[in-house]
Amino acid sequence: MHFRTYILDIALAIFILVGSVAHSPAQLPTSAAPPPAKAEPTIPVDPLRRDTPHSAMMGFLKCTEREDYETAARYLQPTPGRKTTLAQRAKELDALLRTRFKGSVGLLSDDANATEPGLPPGQIRAGVLKAGGMTADLILLRMDDPNSGKIWLISNETVANIPKLYAEMDSEEATLADRIMPATLTDRRRLGMSLAQWLGWLLSIPISWLLAWLLAFLLSSPGRIAKKIRKLPFRPARTMPLGKPLRCIVAILIHSIFVQLVRPPLLYRVYYFRFMEILLLACFAWLVTLIADRGFERALNRMRTQHKGGESILVLMRRLTRILLLIIAFVGALALSGFDVKTMLAGLGIGGLAIALAAQKTLENLVGGVSLLMDKAVHVGDFCQVGDEVGTVEDIGLRSLKLRTADQNLLVVPNGLLAQMQFKNMTGRSKLLISQKFSLRIETPAEQLRFVLDRVQSMLDQHPAIEPRTSRVRVTNFAGATFEVELFAYGKTGDWTQFTAIRQDVILKIAEIVEVSGTRFAAPTHLMYLSRDRGVDAEKAKDILRRVKELRASNKFRFPGEARTGTE
């Protein structure tokens, strides 16, 4: 093993040596080498994510939440001509943002080239700082940084106003709530919030639900009084389907107002209100879904009452509406969460094409189901025959049709396959065919056969459940030792159960007619002919035996398998 390794090392060294000699500079052509390609300038990346107004403001809030004021100072534009400590200004601005800021950081643009009407290019108003009688705009400014490129900073004009605003805030008298609140709750802090703020936030949740219920009660009071005067039953709003999402919407709005009064840290407010907006969107989607379901239910009841059909189309539209609302709510929640919905939708378009190619059968079933419902060929509750199976349609979905067969099995047929095959819908039939064949014995005389046919035809004409002028009974064939008779009549019903009762009554009456006529139904028979046979003729047998002996004696008789020795 070591010897083989040693040989491989020598071979590799020789190969490298030969290669280096073959490509040595002495053997290279003397033509001038091409000039090196110019390297493309790299775009600097800001490690503090100050490339958009929204990311710059969020980065500042995250640093102040960690009490990292040195890093937070890098989000402030220095004031020229003044020796100021930006870390101190960042700390003061953090205190102002907690209690004196009016605006929404979540609505700031994520576009690096964002502009705002009424302001010079490269400036964005993030909100307003108000303390005492002084008000100042919080302006974000875009500028060039030698290390980070184009970045957004809090403008030096805003930084210059921070000390004045902070002094005004310190000079303000304490509010009544601050004076009443014990120092234990205001001084002790957890996760950037005092215990008083945590207590106020927790109490706001049940209070919001209570106020929402009280508001619903007050709004429903006139209706309750009117129903009571008319002595009509009244259904409270809390028990109605639309009452639940409406109460949730009102409770969320009231709770948001309480959270504003509690004044949690601005970073918490950004994320918390984003969560509340998603909840509010979900409640609106819930409300719209209930309203749409209510409209579909009324349309379905109207169609069932008027027997116009089309219920299955409404059921399919109802399901598609739910799916569409769910998709809209999901995309809206992603947008509120800060995701780039445009890029995501573009990616979903390309991904949707790939999914469509991979899910051709599913789309085929979907299109087949829509075309099936648009043709109104089948509805829920119809009695149908699909292939060799007969049953009642229980559901027409986006992918398949469900048929409850006669033996109570659930048959699932894909819509794409169902749209291509022939099937029988037996619900819309106004009449059902009775087609029966019976046989009479061949010994039945012709006049007796005519009597049976006449009586059966009269019975069909007089039967109240048989359609008149379309029934007939005919002799069709001689089959062995029988007369074959065929009966053709329509029962005046489309219900299978009633049809079986009518068919049974017709068969029993035919049996009575045959019995009264004196003939019988033919059973499977074999026809046998009997004759006398005389057997073997003894005289002819003796004569033949004698002749055979004479031929064998003269050697003229040839038996099969023996050679002939004489002449005939």
Summarised one tens digit per residue, pLDDT across range 145-181 is: 888 888 899 988 888 888 888 888 877 766 666 666 6
Name the least confident of 97-111, 224-238, 445-459, 486-500. 224-238
331 and 473 housed in the same domain: no
415 and 481 housed in the same domain: no
- pLDDT score at 26: 38
Please say if the pLDDT value at position 488 is more than 80. Answer: yes
Q: Domain of 546?
A: 537-568
Query: What is the bridge-based pairing of β-strands 101-102 and 123-131?
Result: antiparallel
For residues 331-354, give the mean pLDDT: 71
212 and 284 housed in the same domain: yes
Q: What does the DSSP assignment read for 125-152?
A: EEEEEEETTEEEEEEEEEEEETTTEEEE
- Cβ atoms of 498 and 430 within 8 Å: the answer is no
For residues 188-198, give the mean pLDDT: 74
- pLDDT score at 5: 41
**Looking at residue 363, which CATH number applies to its domain?**
2.30.30.60
462 and 407 housed in the same domain: no
Of 390, 425, 460, the one marking the end of a domain is: 425
Q: What is the pLDDT of residues 199-216, one digit of tens each?
A: 888 888 889 889 888 888
CA distance to 281, 326, 368, 381, 401, per residue, from 320 (Å): 19, 10, 15, 21, 16
Of 292, 318, 349, the one marking the end of a domain is: 349
Q: Give 375 or 228, the one with higher predicted confidence.
A: 228
- Cβ atoms of 452 and 517 within 8 Å: the answer is yes
For residues 36-62, give the mean pLDDT: 77
- Cβ atoms of 63 and 75 within 8 Å: the answer is yes
- pLDDT score at 29: 41
Total structural domains within the chain: 5
287 and 417 housed in the same domain: no
Q: Give 299 or 164, the one with higher predicted confidence.
A: 164
The percent of residues above 70 in pLDDT, for the chain, comes to 73
**Looking at residue 478, which CATH number applies to its domain?**
3.30.70.100
**In this structure, is residue 229 part of a structural domain?**
yes
Q: Please tell me the distance from the alpha carbon of residue 400 to that of residue 420, in angstroms, as a whole number.
A: 13
344 and 371 housed in the same domain: no
Please say if the pLDDT value at position 18 is more than 70. Answer: no
Q: Please tell me the distance from the alpha carbon of residue 1 to that of residue 361, in angstroms, as a whole number.
A: 59
Q: Give 372 or 473, the one with higher predicted confidence.
A: 473
Q: Give 471 or 559, the one with higher predicted confidence.
A: 471
Please say if the pLDDT value at position 70 is more than 70. Answer: yes
243 and 113 housed in the same domain: no
321 and 420 housed in the same domain: no
- Cβ atoms of 252 and 283 within 8 Å: the answer is yes
- pLDDT score at 28: 37
436 and 487 housed in the same domain: yes
Q: What is the pLDDT of residues 387-431, one digit of tens each?
A: 888 888 887 776 778 889 888 888 888 877 776 777 788 777 788
The one-letter amino acid at 118: G
For residues 285-298, give the mean pLDDT: 87
Computed over every residue of the chain, the mean pLDDT equals 77
Q: Give 32 or 235, the one with higher predicted confidence.
A: 235
**In this structure, is residue 22 part of a structural domain?**
no
253 and 331 housed in the same domain: yes
- Which residue is listed with tokens 């199976």? 389
- pLDDT score at 443: 83
543 and 558 housed in the same domain: yes
**In this structure, is residue 463 part of a structural domain?**
yes
Q: Please tell me the distance from the alpha carbon of residue 411 to that of residue 406, in angstroms, as a whole number.
A: 11
Q: What is the pLDDT of residues 239-278, one digit of tens each?
A: 667 778 888 889 999 988 888 887 787 778 788 888 888 9
Please say if the pLDDT value at position 349 is more than 80. Answer: no
Q: Please tell me the distance from the alpha carbon of residue 65 to that of residue 89, in angstroms, as a whole number.
A: 15
- pLDDT score at 197: 76
Of 349, 384, 413, the one marking the end of a domain is: 349
- pLDDT score at 301: 80
**In this structure, is residue 60 part of a structural domain?**
yes
Q: Give 133 or 433, the one with higher predicted confidence.
A: 433
199 and 330 housed in the same domain: yes
- pLDDT score at 144: 86
Residue 370 — very low, low, confident or very high, per pLDDT cuts 50/70/90?
low
